[in-house]
Structure 1
Amino acid sequence: MSKIITVFGATGHQGGSVIRTILNDPELSKEFKIRGITRDASKPEAQALAKQGVEITTADMNSKDSLRQALQGSHSVFLVTTPAWGTAGSDAELVHGKNVADVAQESGVEHLIFSSLLHVTETSAGRLTHVPHFDHKAEVEAYIRSLGVPATFVLPGYFMTNYTMIGLLRKGENGVWTLAYPVGQDAKFPLIDISADMGKYVSASLKNRSGTLGTQLLGAEDYYTPTRILEEFEQVTGHKTQFVQVDPDTYKSFIPGPMGQEMLENHLFIESPGYFNGKSLQEAKDLVGKAGYELTSWREFLERNRGLFV
């Protein structure tokens, strides 16, 4: 009989990637039956998953009773929490993560895989204190560890889709594409094609549960400087580019409200002490490779999305 893996955010980038990877894996698709959690089971993306054999259900992450139903009978769980973007002082992400952790413990979940991040305030020794979408995930990770729930933590890097979906690369009237950051040209961005590759880390952990329990898997294909990002962009698209380092106040002015400060400090963190605090990506890359998967490079991502840069 197949084991149940419950996947939160089933129609999102991360949960969707996990579901696609398991469905397309001959080994895992036999081992696991997928239960997908989404906020709206009626939307087309959810219905499309249901047609592929995914059990679709909804859950209120503020309600432990709702979560108990969602996790009932689950052997494994993939959890991703959603930041309360632009809502200063919100602890919703922290509450949601802890609620799922509590219910996972009660329900006897044997493998909780959580999409985590580093604690910016602590890692920067208090220099950067306004990046709650990192800090709250790190605090949920610490809480899961304190409960003793068998868990693996996948820390996704900087999304390649940031350059397509939120327009970090912008075309000027002169045809030159500009990348503007509040950091220097040597800052190291650990890039991940989140929709294609998040599921590969999770699936690699499912295949090697005993070897990954209690560990952090750093999710990125490689570290890329702004210089390398633009060089490969030019090589693939043929467009001219320029990098502009802007001062913090100017950068904040691009993004209104508290989110401007959060994004500023997020990028300052990438420059120093580093998105993953200078740690190597190799261990997680080796695990993914041994599980039979290949990660997506920035060049490959650009080639697949060339049509978005015209």
Structure 2
Amino acid sequence: MSILVTGATGTIGSLITHGLASAGADVTAFVRTRGKVSFPDGVTEVVGDLTDVPSMRAAFSSVRTLFLLNAVTPDEVTQALIALNLAREAGIERIVYLSVIHADKFTNVPHFTGKYTVERMIESLGIPATILRPAYFMQNEFMVQKAIEDYGVYPMPIGGAGVSMIDARDIAEIAVAELLRRDRAPSALATVTLDLVGPQTLTGTSVAQAWSAALGRDVVYAGDDVAAFEGQMAAFGPSWLAYDMRLMMAGIQTFGMQAAEGAIARLESILGHPLRTYENFVREATTKA
């Protein structure tokens, strides 16, 4: 019986797939197209789609443990609810679900409320799971790195309430640890929820300062204008996603993204090493560039 990783070709899913393979687990990567990326030896690819029920039933037939990641799409909730129902149908009782921090607080943000709906389904149906609630990914900054370097402006309107950004590598390592813990347990384990955060509280101004230090020249924060941010996003992608991201940024400005006391120590205990810092992430990004 294997661990099935959905979203296996994405940023988080690919890291998880490699991490599980390195740990000697039997891993199956759920992909839309075979051969799109190079997986480690021993990883089995299974082709399917989260909206294609027959392909999912086939994929779940030899699975003991499931990592469920649903991309931000208009039918995200449908995908997740179908996947969880089919997992129950297949007798899968070992699940790690990737949600988002403060899913219950950002109630007007579509993909936050979507993920919170899935969390409620997991709870109401008594599905044994680890619910991972990550804050803003540091790797999201790759989308704006060129703008930062070319124009000396940090354009993400994250405001001043404070965001505990987390490195995707730490997210993946924690997910691997939880998948292995559940997969290797003699029976299904109780449901737990983990807020995944980085070790620092960052603001638009402090993030700009980190880029200034790494680049050796001034980088300024562009400010809190979420309407302008939406317009920029809409120029490069669908309008529904641009609006969703605008609402998220407004929520970040209002509520911030920080975990409860004790979360960092708990995460570092799982990882076995300190959480990666934003300054180190920026130094790595600028060195590679």
- The letter for the 1-side match of 2:20 is I
Write the distance in 2 (CA, Å) between the matches of 1:288 and 1:34.
25
| 1:242 and 2:216 correspond | no
Write the distance in 2 (CA, Å) between the matches of 1:242 and 1:83.
29
Write the distance in 2 (CA, Å) between the matches of 1:183 and 1:294.
24
Q: Deviations over 1:51-105 (max 9, x none)?
A: 5210111122113322111111212110100122xxxxx3x11111011101111
Counting only pairs closer than 5 Å after superposition, residues 280-299 of structure 1 correspond to structure 2 as: 280=260, 282-283=262-263, 285-299=265-279
Judging changes above 3 Å, is the alpha-carbon distance between structure 1 residues 212 and 247 closer, same or farther for their aligned structure 2 residues? farther
The Cα shift of 1:284 comes to 5.7
State the partner residue of 1:180.
155
| 1:109 and 2:92 correspond | yes
Judging changes above 3 Å, is the alpha-carbon distance between structure 1 residues 298 and 264 closer, same or farther for their aligned structure 2 residues? same
Contact persistence 1:38–1:56 (CA under 8 A)? yes
State the partner residue of 1:146.
124
Contact persistence 2:70–2:76 (CA under 8 A)? yes
In structure 1, the residue corresponding to 2:15 is in which secondary structure? Answer: helix
Matched residues, percent identical? 23
State the partner residue of 1:136.
114
Write the distance in 1 (CA, Å) between the matches of 2:46 and 2:156.
40
The Cα shift of 1:246 comes to 4.0
Count of residue pairs brought into register by the alignment: 280
| 1:57 and 2:30 correspond | no
| 1:161 and 2:161 correspond | no
Gaps of 5+ in 1: 85-89
Write the distance in 2 (CA, Å) between the matches of 1:170 and 1:234.
9
- The letter for the 2-side match of 1:299 is E
- The letter for the 1-side match of 2:48 is A
Write the distance in 1 (CA, Å) between the matches of 2:171 and 2:142.
18
Judging changes above 3 Å, is the alpha-carbon distance between structure 1 residues 202 and 248 closer, same or farther for their aligned structure 2 residues? closer
Write the distance in 2 (CA, Å) between the matches of 1:155 and 1:34.
23
Contact persistence 1:180–1:246 (CA under 8 A)? no
Write the distance in 2 (CA, Å) between the matches of 1:230 and 1:9.
31
Contact persistence 1:36–1:56 (CA under 8 A)? yes
State the partner residue of 1:201.
174
Q: Deviations over 1:207-251 (max 9, x none)?
A: 544897422212222331222222222223312111121434333
Write the distance in 1 (CA, Å) between the matches of 2:93 and 2:268.
21
TM-score (norm 1): 0.80
CA RMSD of superposed structures (Å):
2.6
TM-score (norm 2): 0.86
Gaps of 5+ in 2: none
Contact persistence 2:158–2:203 (CA under 8 A)? no
Counting only pairs closer than 5 Å after superposition, residues 31-110 of structure 1 correspond to structure 2 as: 32-43=25-36, 45=37, 48-49=38-39, 51-84=40-73, 90=74, 92-110=75-93
In structure 1, the residue corresponding to 2:165 is in which secondary structure? Answer: strand
Judging changes above 3 Å, is the alpha-carbon distance between structure 1 residues 261 and 182 closer, same or farther for their aligned structure 2 residues? same
